[in-house]
Amino acid sequence: MALRICLFSIAAVLLGAHFFRVGSLAMLALCLSAPLLFILKSRWSLYLLQLSAYGAAGVWIHVAIGIVELRRQFGQPWLSAVAILGTVTLVTLLAGLLLNSTAIRQHYR
């Protein structure tokens, strides 16, 4: 269970770093405080964490599309950006999927 919590926390910190880079301090605070929902032992907090992981993956896809479009317009290489952001997206999706495991659901009744 610790691996699932750590993976989600890493995904939340990565998304928080993105929002810090674009200057959204409110979203940064929200991302950094999201893992605190693991303290609550209720089912709704688990659902909220899963939903936030899937939403974060959507944000990463949106960012990847924007970067690819921008780099293609300027004739710059874009494949490395897709590889990096694709990996971050997959890690974030994995964090959300692992929160749906039997071990976690038994802990959050």
Please give the pLDDT value at position 41. Answer: 86
Distance CA(45)–CA(52), nearest Å, equals 10
Identify the domain containing residue 58 by its residue range: 2-107
- Distances in Å between the alpha carbon of 18 and those of 49, 60, 77, 84, 107? 18, 9, 21, 13, 31
Distance CA(4)–CA(97), nearest Å, equals 9
Instruction: Write down the H helix ranges in 1-109.
Output: 2-22, 25-33, 43-73, 79-98, 102-107
Q: For the chain, how many structural domains are there in total?
A: 1
Q: What is the pLDDT along the chain (109 residues), one digit of tens a residue?
A: 899 999 999 999 999 999 999 999 999 999 999 999 999 989 999 999 999 999 999 999 999 999 999 999 999 999 999 999 999 999 999 999 999 988 888 888 7
- DSSP string for residues in 24-49: -HHHHHHHHHGGGGGGS-SHHHHHHH
